[in-house]
Amino acid sequence: MNNKKRNELLALPGRSRLNETLSCILHCGNFRHGVSRYCSTHLGRLLRYGGPTQQRVEKSTLAPEVAIMRKFLKHNDTHPSVIAAQDWLTKFVRQIAEIKGSPGQAQMRQLVYDGFTESAPVSKWIPNGQREMLATVLATFYYAIKRPAALPANEPLTYALFNHLIRLASPVKRGRLKYNANTGREEILYSYPQPGAAVRRLRGREIRTTLASFADKVFSALERQHQLEVERRQKLETDFKDGDLKHRKRYIPRPPDAPRKREPNAGTFQRGGRNKFPPGYVPKGKRG
Ligand SMILES: [Zn+2]
C-alpha cells in the first residue's frame, strides 16, 4: 500500500470531500468546488464578477460610454457636482492607497503611482487622470442602464465598478519569473494584483452608493441634451402646407384616383438624360 492510498483511507471525508462528489447546482455537468455549491468555473465568476453566470464586461466594450462621459465632464468641469465627485473619488483612492493592509490597497496604490489622482496628463491619450477615473465609473453606471441584461443586478454592477476602476492602472511587476516559450528564457512577470471578492464588494459598494445619485443627474442632463437635439431636428421636418406653396402659379393638386396626363416615361427629350431618344422614336434594333 503506497502512501497516497493510505492517506486517502485514513482521511476522514471532510465537508469538501463529500461536497466535491456532488454536481454544480447550475447543472453544468461539473463537480462542485470545495464547499461551494458551484463548480470552479461558476464559483470563479461569482467571486470576480458578482454572479455565478456573470460575464466580464470588457474595457473595449465600455469605450464608447467612457468617451461620452469624458466629453461631458470636460464640458462641465466647473460644475460644483462634478468637482465634488472628482474630489471624493480622488480622496477615496488616495486614502486606501496610504493605509497599509486596507482592502484594495495594492490596486489603489497602483492608480496613485500611475498618476490617476492628479489632474495632469497620465499618458498621450489620457489628458486628465482624475477625470478619467470619474468617466470610467460613470460609464459603468451608464452601461448598466443601457444594457440591463449585461449587468442585471446591483451586485454585478458593484463588482464591475471596482473592476473597471482598478483596470485603469498598468500591470504591476510581480516578484516571480515566468518561462517564455517563444524566447526560451525566463522573464519577469507583469500582472494585475487580483483582489478577493470581499475587497471588490466592499469598495465597489462604496463607489456605487456614493456616486449613484450624481450619475443619475448626469444621465438626466444627457437625456435633456438628447431631447434638445431631437427638437432641433424635428423643426427641420415640419410639413409644407398648401398655403406655403403660393409661389407656384398654377398649383392644382391631382386627386389620387385621377389618371396621369402623360405616360410616366414619355418625358421631354434631353440629350444624355434618362430618355435617350425623342418621343415617338423607335431605336434601330427594335423596329418592327
Ligand atoms: Zn457550474
Ligand 1 centroid – CA 37 distance (Å): 9
Q: d(Cα 156, Cα 47) in Å, to the nearest integer? A: 10
Which residue in this structure is represented by grid cell 466580464?
56
Residue that has been written with the C-alpha cell 500591470 in this structure: 171
CA distances 214 to 88, 138, 204, 221, 224, Å, are: 12, 9, 16, 11, 16
Query: For residue 162, how far is its CA from the centre of ligand 1 (angstroms)?
Result: 25
Give the dihedral sign, CA 83/89/90/95.
positive
Q: Separation of 26 CA from ligand 1 center, angstroms? A: 5
CA of 43 to the centre of ligand 1 (A): 8
User: How remote is the CA of residue 5 from the centroid of ligand 1, in Å?
Assistant: 29
Ligand 1: distance of its center to the CA of 36 in Å? Answer: 10
Provide mean pLDDT across the span 208-223: 96
154 Cα: distance to centroid of ligand 1 (angstroms): 22
- How close is the Cα of 53 to the center of ligand 1, in Å? 9
The pLDDT, as a whole number, for residue 2 is: 67
Rg (CA), the chain: 33
What's the Cα-to-Cα distance from 270 to each of 276, 279, 283, 285, rounded to whole Å? 7, 10, 16, 21
Q: Compute the distance from residue 30 Cα to the ligand 1 centre, in Å.
A: 6
Residue closest to 134 by CA, chosen among 182, 197, 69: 69
pLDDT given for residue 232 in this prediction: 93
Least confident of 141-155, 173-187, 198-212, 239-253: 239-253
Lowest mean pLDDT among 17-26, 137-146, 187-196: 187-196
> Tens digits of per-residue pLDDT, 218-266?
999 999 999 999 999 999 988 887 777 766 666 677 777 877 666 555 5
The pLDDT-based confidence of 3 (bands split at 50, 70, 90) is low
In sequence order, what are the beta bridge partners of 23? 31
Q: How many CA atoms lie within 13 A of 67 on its CB side?
A: 7
Q: Where are the domains of the chain?
A: 12-53, 56-234
pLDDT tens sequence across 72-120: 999 999 999 999 999 999 999 999 999 999 999 999 999 999 999 999 9
**Confidence (pTM):** 0.74
